[in-house]
Amino acid sequence: MKEKTVITGMGVLCAGGAGKEEFATTIREGASAVRKLAHVDVATLHTKIGGAIDEETLESLCEDKDASKRLDRCSLLAQIAAEMCYADSGLQATEDVPSRKGVLLGTAMGTIHTIEDCYRRYWVDKTPTMRPSTIPRGLLNMPASEIAMRYGLLKINQTVSTACSSSLLALAMANDYILSGTADIILVGGVDCPLAPGAFRMWDSLRIMTRGFNDRPEEASRPFDAARSGIVLSEGCGFVVLERESTAANRNTRIYAQVLGAGQSNDAHPMLDPRMDAQVECMEEAMANAGVGIGDLSHIQAHATGTPLGDVAEANAIKYVFDKDAAEIPVSSIKSVIGHTLGASGILSVIAVLIGMEQGFIPPTINLENLDPECNLDCVPNAAREAKMETAMINSFGLGGTNVSLIVRRP
């Protein structure tokens, strides 16, 4: 029998909570983490809200007090979430584990804070020289490399960047590495910190962030709702430990879920106009690789970001794939609660699903007051649903066209 891969640890740090317990409470209660932004000058911007991590929380979680000076914010979040994940998996307490370990990290904007600081020093402050730490802080692969060094991960160290689908693609790649025998244990994560002043202005100019809820930030992120008007940008990081099932059994560790399979596709199409047929191909390939049928899914954790075009395309793709059964499958989006964390969104969606499997609930889509008739699915409106979740699909569709669907099952 073909051996499976399993998820044995998780760590999370985002506007919705620090640690899996806080995150679970936020998701289960449907408590919006979106607020008015205090650290960004938004006076001249159309969008003035987002999902920011509280600075006091971040400081309290950082044991290395010099880390904030040495590391980019992206690397700092990754270190904290990876530490939570590593501890949760029991790897710290296990001496006899395989040496073929690695890290795969997905990110869209990476070390944007360091890059912005560099440009500000040169163009605004007219500083003729840069800090020697700029390159070690600012390279896109540094967050993953810092983690590899911290835990002695000697086999794989890779950074994946496909916009919003980065971390789910990283998990699919890690699954392939383990199944092929290339590695035994991989720390898989996603991180993005797009609330840097310049980065936030770039997103504001793209006109895909919601603009009509600055006075009601908690109501702003509303996937599938008829009044949705765009994404809410957030920062965050999540990690899981993926390993061979036999390795987990030898360690006698808890297993959250099995990874059954994944699918990929690409739009090759104008980036703000997602292709339904590409999403259909992605989901169908994931189901074929996972060996599951239309009636086997308990839940779909949708990519659904709250854009007028994107939500309809995904809803139509789901209806095409599942046909008459589509209305029977609970479909929801945790972005309604925590906002869109870009490259971290896929792995945070996985973690939300794992928590739902463990605790017996399906995450809600909050702010769903009037379902868009074109998104006529069971979108789990406004309150978590008590239910036994056996098998779930997670969708992650990246700006630029890279689509990923992944299927997990309770052990």
**pLDDT score for 376:** 97
> Do 262-409 and 5-257 have the same topology in CATH?
yes
**173 vs 98, higher pLDDT:** 173
Residue in 193, 282, 299, 340 annotated catalytic: 340
Assess whether pLDDT exceeds 80 at residue 64: no
Tokens encoding 121: 């020093």
Assess whether pLDDT exceeds 70 at residue 353: yes
**pLDDT-derived band of residue 108, with 50, 70 and 90 as boundaries?**
very high
Report the alpha-carbon distance of residue 101 to residue 244 in Å, rounded.
Answer: 11
**pLDDT-derived band of residue 128, with 50, 70 and 90 as boundaries?**
confident
| Out of 121-130, 190-199, 278-287, 388-397, least confident range | 121-130
Report the alpha-carbon distance of residue 269 to residue 249 in Å, rounded.
Answer: 44
Q: pTM of the entire structure?
A: 0.97
Residue in 14, 85, 303, 379 annotated catalytic: 303
**Residues 183-226 pLDDT 10s:** 999 999 999 999 999 999 999 999 999 999 999 999 999 999 99
- Per CATH, the number for 262-409 is 3.40.47.10
Annotation marks residue 164 as catalytic: yes
**pLDDT-derived band of residue 63, with 50, 70 and 90 as boundaries?**
confident
Cα 205 from chain centroid (whole Å): 23
* DSSP label at residue 233: B
**Residues 16-39 pLDDT 10s:** 999 999 999 999 999 999 999 998
Annotation marks residue 340 as catalytic: yes
Annotation marks residue 39 as catalytic: no
**pLDDT-derived band of residue 95, with 50, 70 and 90 as boundaries?**
low
User: Nearest CA to 348 among 127, 140, 189?
Assistant: 189
Average pLDDT (333-351) is 98
**pLDDT score for 225:** 98
Report the alpha-carbon distance of residue 367 to residue 223 in Å, rounded.
Answer: 8
Report the alpha-carbon distance of residue 69 to residue 377 in Å, rounded.
Answer: 47
- For the chain, give every domain's residue range: 5-257, 262-409
**98 vs 186, higher pLDDT:** 186
**pLDDT score for 371:** 98
Residue in 164, 193, 237, 282 annotated catalytic: 164
Neighbours of 170 (CB within 10 A): 30
5-257 CATH, one of 3.40.47.10, 3.30.70.100, 1.10.3720.10, 3.40.50.10680: 3.40.47.10
Q: Report whether 14 contacts 341 (CB < 8 A).
A: yes
